[in-house]
Amino acid sequence: MAALSATDLRAGYGRGDDIVRGISLDQAPETILAVIGPNGSGKSSLVKTLAGLLDIRAGRVAVTGRDVTRETPAKRVAAGLAYVPQEANVFPNLTIGENLKLATEFLRGRAGVGPEQRERVLGLFPEIGARLKTRAGDLSGGQRQMLAFASALLANPEALLLDEPSAGLSPKIVGQTMEAIVRVRETGVTVLLVEQNVAAALDVADEAVVLVAGQVSLRASASDMKAADLGALFFAKVA
Ligand SMILES: Nc1ncnc2c1ncn2[C@@H]1O[C@H](COP(=O)(O)OP(=O)(O)OP(=O)(O)O)[C@@H](O)[C@H]1O
């Protein structure tokens, strides 16, 4: 069974045209699927639609077979679908410890949420665990991203949606962030990774999809995608 599944998904903003225009994708458990494509192709909109932040106009979203299409964002997290937005993904005025505490505030009742999961997650991100009293606003970009991952993982998700985790990070820190994503996958989490940094994403992904104008124009293994002419794919004319 797919860990994450979207079927004929359509979504857009307000009364505007569809931005997500009929996307279907099934993601096998414990894989990393990179979502790449040119600026404005709808990558962030897709991930927001999966997370429940953009109203679904048609189609279906399921997490480990459970239909969450009509669920609120909070209920989707409780169903096993966690989301790390591109920006504003931590509370800067709160400490690391306070951020982590808040992350589980609305998750009572979800299996696997609690002190053991907290220990497991802090074990994955030791530099976060060692600085629980530090204000999140005082962290570097890379550390802030680790805190955002850790906060999302406290929900013990089946699938994790990441929107451009490399944005604004130096190349060295991008590498460390991608390594962290691999560690997350090794704990059994399925990761959907939206990235502008195509090379970094393909280095860690199993598979990738190219989005052009809100539709999937190609799906391939990460290694085949590395060999593809992405320039031609990204800038192909779409009807
Ligand atoms: N809040 C919004 N209201 C209206 N239209 C929006 C909104 N956010 C995005 N869009 C539009 O949706 C389209 C897709 O944007 P989206 O941010 O999903 O693309 P993207 O592939 O993630 O781009 P980028 O790589 O630049 O982040 C764009 O035409 C954009 O103008």
Is 189 a domain residue?
Answer: yes
- pLDDT per position as a tens digit, 94-120: 999 999 998 888 777 777 888 888 999
In the DSSP assignment, the letter for residue 17 is P
- pTM score, whole prediction: 0.94
- 183: part of which helix (H) or strand (E)? helix 171-186
Calculate how far, in angstroms, residue 41's C-alpha sits from the geometric centre of ligand 1.
7
Written as tens digits, the pLDDT of the chain (239 aa) is 999 999 999 999 999 999 999 999 999 999 999 999 999 999 999 999 999 999 999 999 999 999 999 999 999 999 999 999 988 889 999 999 999 998 888 777 777 888 888 999 998 888 898 899 999 999 998 899 999 999 999 999 999 999 999 998 889 899 999 999 999 999 999 999 999 999 999 999 999 999 999 999 999 999 999 888 777 778 766 55
Owning domain of residue 65: 4-234
For a ligand 1 pocket test, name from 9, 44, 55, 234 the mutation site with the most ligand atoms within 8 angstroms of its C-beta.
44
Q: Please give the single-letter amino acid code of residue 174.
A: V
Question: What is the pLDDT at residue 107?
Answer: 75
Q: Within 10 A of 187 (CB to CB), how many other CB atoms are there?
A: 13
Q: CATH number, domain at 225? A: 3.40.50.300
Is 83 a domain residue?
Answer: yes
Report the domain count for the chain: 1
- pLDDT per position as a tens digit, 119-131: 999 988 888 988 9
For a ligand 1 pocket test, name from 43, 215, 230 the mutation site with the most ligand atoms within 8 angstroms of its C-beta.
43
Question: What is the pLDDT at residue 36?
Answer: 96
Question: What is the pLDDT at residue 238?
Answer: 58
Q: Please give the single-letter amino acid code of residue 1.
A: M
Question: What is the pLDDT at residue 87?
Answer: 82
Calculate how far, in angstroms, residue 40's C-alpha sits from the geometric centre of ligand 1.
5
Pocket of ligand 1 (CB under 6 A): 13, 16, 19, 37, 39-45, 196
CA 146 to each of CA 12, 96, 167, 195, 209: distance values in angstroms, whole numbers, following the listed order: 30, 10, 13, 16, 25
Let me know: does 94 contact 102? Beta carbons within 8 Å.
Answer: yes
Question: What is the pLDDT at residue 111?
Answer: 79
Is 239 a domain residue?
Answer: no
Is 42 a domain residue?
Answer: yes
Structure tokens at 92: 């800067």
